[in-house]
Amino acid sequence: MKKEEATTKEIITAPPILNGKLIQAEGLDLWYLHQFLTKKQADKLFDTLEDELEYFTGDLAKVKIFGKWRDIPRQQVAFGDPGMVYRFSSLSVPALPWPSALKDLRDDVSSVLGQDYNFVLVNRYRNGLDHMGEHRDDEGELDEGAGIVSISLGQVRDFVLRHRDVKFKKRRMDSVKIPLGHGSLLHMRSPTNTFWYHALPPRKKALGVRINLTFRKVIPEKMSKK
């Protein structure tokens, strides 16, 4: 008998600013604010980043998948405190100095969540073909207690999470799909990255640009020396 595919829970709406929605399941702990930024604030930040940011090229625009280096299917750049380096998928991403707009946003996010974030990874999705493959952000230099904070700007895109037991076909569980809106905030809290993979799949009908800002707290003493 053919195995049934995991169904998908739809998170359609969330309460207004600073009255977020908890999304929880086994090993999953998310907090979603549909409108962390007002439309006016989100529009202004989107336009500022489109005007000011330059994205990595060359080796920093590649990622190692199954032993082969491939072009990242999106644009990427990183900012942070002096000396911060984030390593994933055999790639070392150095933090450039904070632009004022992102430093101000970092301060706002840190104030609301009570954490001192020192690094942001910026991903720009040019259209619906740009995407993020399924993965976990479980690197040892990340402060698990701070979680990872995602701010979305521009085109609405689906954020999909799948439990590791489903990925490795050990059992059936619902996946979770969240349409991340313009100006929204998603706080992915521990132990989510231990048990759940997440992805931003291609969406051919999503024609607009999306900018995603993921704030992290890197522990300098734990940064890999490799």
Q: Where are the alpha helices (DSSP H) in 73-212?
A: 100-113, 164-167, 192-195
Give residue for tokens 């979603």.
32
Give residue for tokens 């707009």.
101
Residue 207 CB contacts under 8 Å (≥ 6 apart), including other chains: 127, 128, 155
Residue 138 counted as an annotated binding residue: yes
Amino acid (1-letter code) at residue 111: S
Residue 198 counted as an annotated binding residue: yes
Residue 68 counted as an annotated binding residue: yes
Residue 135 counted as an annotated binding residue: yes
User: What's the rounded Cα separation, in Å, for the pair 92 and 112?
Assistant: 29
* Closest residue by Cα to residue 185 from 145, 212, 218: 212
Residue 123 counted as an annotated binding residue: yes
DSSP-derived secondary structure letter, 37: S
CA distances to 111, 118, 130, 143, 179 from 215, rounded to whole Å, are 13, 8, 21, 11, 19
Residue 162 counted as an annotated binding residue: no
Give residue for tokens 């707290």.
217
Residue 187 counted as an annotated binding residue: no
Give residue for tokens 């590649």.
62
Residue 164 counted as an annotated binding residue: no
Contact between 91 and 63 (Cβ < 8 Å): yes
Show binding-site residues for 2-oxoglutarate: 123, 125, 135, 198, 210, 214, 216
Feature table: binding site for substrate: 66-68, 86-88, 138
Binding residues: 66-68, 86-88, 123, 125, 135, 138, 198, 210, 214, 216
